[in-house]
Structure 1
Amino acid sequence: MTKITGIIIPCYNEYYRLEKEKFLTFLGNNPLYHLCFVNDGSSDNTLEMLNELKQINPKNISVLNLETNQGKATAVQTGANYLAELDFIENIAFLDADLSTSLEEMDNLVQKLNNNPKLAMVFGSRKAEESNNIDRNIVRKFLSNFVGFFIRFILQLPIKDTQCGAKVFRKSIIENVYSQRFISRWLFDIEIFLRLKKHIGLKDLLNHISEEPLDSWIEVDGSKITLKDSFLIPINLLIIWFSYLKVNTPSKNTIAVGQLKVNYTMVK
C-alpha cells in the first residue's frame, strides 16, 4: 500500500514569511505528501494566499480555516484530526510554516518512520550531538537550555529537544495524542510526550519513538511567541505538570483533559 504522509502547517499571519514556491516545488518532487495548511485566525492576507496555493495544487493541498486565533496547539490538533479521517493518509506530521526545519528534513524523518515498523513517532532534534548547521540566537539558545532542564524533569525521559517543530506520527496513535484539548497553546509538544508516556508506558516508550538529529535548522525572524509568553513559560510548565499528575493511567483510548471542540471551515 502506498504510504501518503499528511503534513500540517499551522499559519498565523504568515503572509510575508511563507515561501509558497518551496512548498509547491516539494510537492512536485514528492507526490507521496499531502499538505494541510491551517489558518489560525490570521488578521492579514494569509488565508487568501493559502487559497491560491490550493488552487494551484488542489489534489495535494488542503486548507482549513479557524475563524479566530486559537494558538498553535489547537491549529495542529485540528489538522491532525482532519487528516486522520482521510483514508489515503498513513502518517501525520506537523511542521512550522517558516520552514526553520526544511521540508527535506521532514522527509528524512518520515523515511525513518516508514523504515522501522516498531516506531510510532519520529521527531527532529536541534540538540543531538550529531546535529549540524544549527543557526540560533544565543539568547534564545540560553532560554531554551534553561527551559529544557525543567521539561526533562517533568517528562523523566532522556529527550534532548521536545520543542522542535518537526514531528511525524503513525496514524494509529493520532486519537490517543490529539483527540483531547491541550492545556497549553504553545507548549503542547510536552503534552504529546506525556500522553504517549501514559498510553504506551515509560518502559516501552523509548522503543517506539526516535529523536533524530537535524542536518540544518535556521531560526527565522518573526516568532509569534512574545516576551510576555516567554516569562509565562515556567508557570505553564507547572500547570501542565500538575494537570497530568492528576490523570490516572488511561485505557487503550485517550487521556481526558477536556474535549476538543473547534469550529473550522474547509476551503474548497
Structure 2
Amino acid sequence: MKTLLIIPCYNEENRLPIDELVHFIERENEGLSFLFVNDGSTDNTINILNKLADTFSFVKVLDLQQNVGKAEAIRTAMLKYTSDEYDYIGYFDADLATPLAEVNQFIAKAEKFDPIILMGSRVKLLGITDIKRKWYRHYFGRVFATIASSMLKIPVYDTQCGAKMIKSSVIKVLFKDSFISSWLFDVELLFRLKKLPDYNTNPTPIIELPLSKWEEKGDSKIPISYLFKVPFELVSIYLRYS
C-alpha cells in the first residue's frame, strides 16, 4: 500500500525531533513517503526540511511563503499531492506527540478494513497504552469530544488527536473548500465525511485506533485565549452542515 504522510511545520526549528525522524525514515520507507509543509516559518525550519529532502528521495517539502495555519497548510498539501500514486494520505503533528511507529498500525488497519478515515485516539488503558497528557487538557478534551460527538451523531472518542489517515480517492471532495476553523477542522472534516455517498456504503467508514503511545510535548501553538472562541466556532461548524 502506498501512503503519504504530511507533517505541517511552523517555526519548528527547536521542536522538530530530527533524530527520531531520520531513524524512522532510514528503517521504515517501503511504500511510505513524507511531505513536510513549511507553513511560512520565520526561523530555520525550511533549511532543516530541505536537508531532509536532499538526503531521502521519498521526502518532499512544500514551502508556503506565508503562514496560513494548520488546517489550510494540510488542505493545500492534500490537494497538491493527491493522485493515484497513493492509497492513503495522512497527517501527524510535527512534534511527533504521536510517534511515527504508530504509522504501521494505521497502515495495517487500512489494508484490512479499507475505511475512509482512520483516526488516532488517546485512550488511557492500563497496561496497554502509554498516554501522557496534562490532566486539565484531558478533561477539557473529554467535554469537547462529548459535545462534538453529540453534534456529529457519531460515538467518536477523540476528534482532536493530530494523527489521521484518509483514503486518497475522497480527498479532493473533503478538502475542496477552506475550513471554518484552523484548529477544529478535524470536526468539520467528519461533518463533510458524513455527506459522502461512500460513508453509507462503506461498512467501516471510520476507524478509531487507540494509540500505543502519545506524549504531550508542551509549547502548544494554540493560545489560551482561543479556548473562548471554541464554542462559537463549534456552533458555526454545526450550523453550516446541519
1:116 maps to which residue?
Answer: 113
- Aligned pairs (5 A) from 1:211-222: 211-222=208-219
1:7 maps to which residue?
Answer: 5
Q: How far apart are 1:91 and its partner, in Å? A: 1.3
1:232 maps to which residue?
Answer: 229
Checking the alignment, whether the CA contact within 8 Å between 1:73 and 1:182 is kept in structure 2 is yes
Checking the alignment, whether the CA contact within 8 Å between 1:128 and 1:212 is kept in structure 2 is no
Q: What one-letter code is carried by the residue in structure 1 that aligns with 2:51?
A: E
Structure 1 window deviating more from structure 2 (3-12 vs 25-34): it is 25-34
Q: SS in structure 1 opposite 2:204? A: helix
Checking the alignment, whether the CA contact within 8 Å between 2:124 and 2:130 is kept in structure 1 is no
Q: How far apart are 1:205 and its partner, in Å? A: 6.4
1:134 maps to which residue?
Answer: 131
Checking the alignment, whether the CA contact within 8 Å between 2:113 and 2:204 is kept in structure 1 is no
Q: Between the two proteins, what is the percent identity of the paired residues?
A: 35
Q: What one-letter code is carried by the residue in structure 1 that aligns with 2:141?
A: S
Matched, 1:199 2:211: no
2:168 maps to which residue?
Answer: 171
1:60 maps to which residue?
Answer: 58
Q: What one-letter code is carried by the residue in structure 2 that aligns with 1:241?
A: Y
Q: How many residues align?
A: 240
Checking the alignment, whether the CA contact within 8 Å between 2:146 and 2:157 is kept in structure 1 is no
Checking the alignment, whether the CA contact within 8 Å between 1:27 and 1:60 is kept in structure 2 is no
Q: How far apart are 1:219 and its partner, in Å? A: 0.3
Structure 1 window deviating more from structure 2 (131-140 vs 159-168): it is 131-140
1:206–1:88 Cα change, 3 Å: closer
- Aligned pairs (5 A) from 1:1-268: 3-31=1-29, 32-57=31-56, 59-85=57-83, 87-117=84-114, 119-127=115-123, 132-200=129-197, 203-204=200-201, 207-245=204-242
Q: What one-letter code is carried by the residue in structure 1 that aligns with 2:55?
A: I
Q: What one-letter code is carried by the residue in structure 2 that aligns with 1:95?
A: F
C-alpha distance in 1, partners of 2:200/2:55? 46
Checking the alignment, whether the CA contact within 8 Å between 1:196 and 1:205 is kept in structure 2 is no
1:263 maps to which residue?
Answer: none
Checking the alignment, whether the CA contact within 8 Å between 1:11 and 1:39 is kept in structure 2 is yes
Unmatched 5+ residue regions in structure 1? 246-268
C-alpha distance in 2, partners of 1:229/1:103? 28
Q: How far apart are 1:200 and its partner, in Å? A: 3.5
